[in-house]
Amino acid sequence: MKKAALKAISKDVHKGKAVFSIFPGLCKGCGLCREKCPEGALSWSEELGVYGTPTVIPDPEKCKACRTCERVCPDCAIAITRKTGEDKD
């Protein structure tokens, strides 16, 4: 696997309690994450994925770091990391 596939674009979400990371080198732009997000927090990004299709970007105000997008992504292109030592609600 190329190093480019492992480079993530990260953004603080859930009031700074978590980090949403997308790996464009793994994302094929299928949109399953957007479809399944219970908060409607994902939109298409200008960043392109592995097949030249758009990746997603979270709305930091809407994203609750529930990890639904991470679980449904068939390519493991999304990672949600909760920050330690902070309230997780």
Tell me how many degrees the CA angle 52-63-88 measures, rounded to the nearest 5: 130
Inside any domain, residue 67: yes
| Residue 10, strand partner residues | 21
Average pLDDT over residues 50-61: 95
User: What predicted TM-score, i.e. pTM, was given to this entire model?
Assistant: 0.85
CATH number, residue 48: 3.30.70.20
In a domain, 62, yes or no: yes
Among 9, 5, 21, residue whose Cα is nearest residue 83 = 21
User: Residue 67's domain spans which residues?
Assistant: 12-82
Supply 42's token pair. Answer: 């994902």
Model pLDDT, residue 2: 54
Q: What is the mean pLDDT of residues 46-50?
A: 92
Statement: residue 36 has pLDDT above 90: yes
For residues 65 and 13, is the Cβ–Cβ distance under 8 A?
yes
- Model confidence at 6: pLDDT above 90: no
Task: Give the pLDDT score at 3.
Answer: 55
74 vs 4: CA distance, rounded Å: 19
